[in-house]
């Protein structure tokens, strides 16, 4: 294939030439801790939690897939808006996250039970090593925009997280960001 060129819209985070996907609270039922707050949010207009745009490329090991994500500010109960989070289907693939704007937390864990939380802020770069599940929460008052790149054959396993959940969740309590142990 030929090289390609795209552009990030700094306002929306959308990547030109990409395919945009929208995730609402109703797409995430069961992922937030507070089920009643989930139902209430869906009943009250089912807000958009995040959007992400990826450029369609061959899902092969010698390619690098990439995309941008915009998580809007908000909470479901005490829990900040977040991405679904996933393991890569091919567990032995890593990923790079570059934050453009906003304030977030990148929550990671391994199947062996290790956990890690890294702050995301404009200019922060995080490396998600192979074997770590990853999810991002927006802990600020503005949209959180970030860019991600990962091996083409990584694949996405959402089922494991949907079943077992993350060990840590990111919540607001008394105006502070709190990392709460789910286990």
Return the structure tokens found at 107.
Answer: 């929550």
Pairing of β 144-151 and β 79-80: unpaired
From 82, 103, 100, select the one nearest 161 (Cα to Cα). 82
Q: Which of 21, 93, 95 is nearest to 51 (CA)?
A: 21
Closer of 38 and 95 to Zn ion (Cβ): 95
In the three-class reduction of DSSP (H, G, I as helix; E, B as strand; rest coil), residue 6 is classed as coil
Residue 95 as a binder of ligand PAN (CB under 6 A): the answer is yes
Among ligand PAN, Zn ion, none, partner that 87 touches (CB below 5 to 8 angstroms by kind): none
| Residue (150 or 171) nearer to ligand PAN, CB | 150
Q: How far is the CB of 83 from ligand PAN (least distance, A)?
A: 4
The answer to whether 149 and 63 are in contact (CB under 8 A) is no
Choose among ligand PAN, Zn ion, none what residue 13 binds, the Cβ cut-off being 5 to 8 Å by kind: none
Write out the residues near ligand PAN by the rule CB under 6 A: 52, 67, 69, 83-86, 95, 134, 148, 150, 156
């Amino acid at each position: 294939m030929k090289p390609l060129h795209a552009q990030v819209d700094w306002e929306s985070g959308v990547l030109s030439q990409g395919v945009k996907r929208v995730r609402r609270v109703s797409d995430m039922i069961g992922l937030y801790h507070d089920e009643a707050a989930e139902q209430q949010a869906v009943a009250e207009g089912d807000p958009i939690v995040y959007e992400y745009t990826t450029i369609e490329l061959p899902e092969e090991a010698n390619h690098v897939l990439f995309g941008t994500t915009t998580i809007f500010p908000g909470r479901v109960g005490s829990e900040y808006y977040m991405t679904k989070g996933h393991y890569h289907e091919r567990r032995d693939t890593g990923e790079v996250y570059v934050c453009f704007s906003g304030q977030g937390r990148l929550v990671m864990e391994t199947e062996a039970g290790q956990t890690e939380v890294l702050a995301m802020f404009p200019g922060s770069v995080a490396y998600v090593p192979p074997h770590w599940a990853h999810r991002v929460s927006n802990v600020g008052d503005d949209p959180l925009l970030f860019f991600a790149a990962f091996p083409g054959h990584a694949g996405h396993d959402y089922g494991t997280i949907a079943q077992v959940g993350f060990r840590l969740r990111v919540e607001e309590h008394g105006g502070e960001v709190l990392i709460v142990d789910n286990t």
